[in-house]
Amino acid sequence: MPLIRSAYQDELDGISQSLVTLSELVSGSMAQATSAILKADLKSAEEVITNDHKVDESQHDIDARIIDIIARQQPVATDLRALVSALRMGSDIERMGDLAHHVAKIARMRHPQMAVPAELIATITAMGSVAVAITQKMAVVVATRNVEMALEIERDDDTMDDLHRQLIAALLDKAWSHGTESAIDLTLLGRYYERYADHAVSVARRVYFLVKGEYA
């Protein structure tokens, strides 16, 4: 029985590690997509778009393994809650990858032109930095179940929301001179970064619930 339990625990630990690895993959995608949008770098944009299938495949693999564990082990209580939460976390992280993919697609669509006007480069740079930092913190939260760090992600999301509001304010300013097409691109970009952070918050909240038995 101890050996069986040890193998089962290894499977559970493996799910958590796979979620961490998926988080790191998504973080890299967003960093590269942000670089592509800021530098009109077609090569980087294409790499993010092409590699999105790796995120999808990783998430599908995690889902399949979780379903297999549930079917074989029939877990209850804490273990079942952890596995169901992992299914939902995987979905959130995969969606983050999709949003990085969308950022890269705007860079590709506008190439060889810059999609971001000079006066908004600092804002988009900051949004990209917050997005990558929040993903890296999320990976630590998943690996360690650190509830204090999970709460920090909520505050990091507030920073992203502030940047999003700054971006929208610039687009609505009467001095905007870059046309409707550019305004649409930047509205979408802002939404992608804002939603990306929201999904990280969702993952952090699920970890908090696993540890505390209640939502923050």
pLDDT in tens, 165-187: 999 999 999 999 999 999 999 99
What digits encode the pLDDT tens for the residues 51-101? 999 999 999 999 999 999 999 999 888 899 999 999 999 999 999 999 999
The tokens describing 109, both together, are 């669509």
Look at residue 22 and tell me whether its pLDDT is greater than 80: yes
Instruction: DSSP letter for 127, please.
Output: H
Q: Which positions ≥6 away from 16 have C-beta within 8 Å?
A: 86, 142, 143
What digits encode the pLDDT tens for the residues 87-139? 999 999 999 999 999 999 999 999 999 999 999 999 999 999 999 999 999 99
Q: pTM for the complete prediction?
A: 0.95
Look at residue 2 and tell me whether its pLDDT is greater than 80: no
The rounded mean pLDDT for the chain is 95
pLDDT in the model for residue 141: 98
**Which residue segments constitute the domains of the chain, with CATH numbers given?**
2-212 (1.20.58.220)
Burial state string for 118-139 with b = 16 or more CB within 10 A and e = fewer than 16: eebeebbbbbbebbbbbbebbb
pLDDT in the model for residue 3: 53
Confidence of residue 213 (pLDDT cuts 50, 70, 90): confident
Q: Indicate the Cα dihedral angle 198, 193, 195, 157, nearest 10°.
A: 20
Report the percent of the chain where pLDDT is more than 90: 91
Cα torsion 34, 38, 44, 50: sign:
positive
Confidence of residue 48 (pLDDT cuts 50, 70, 90): very high
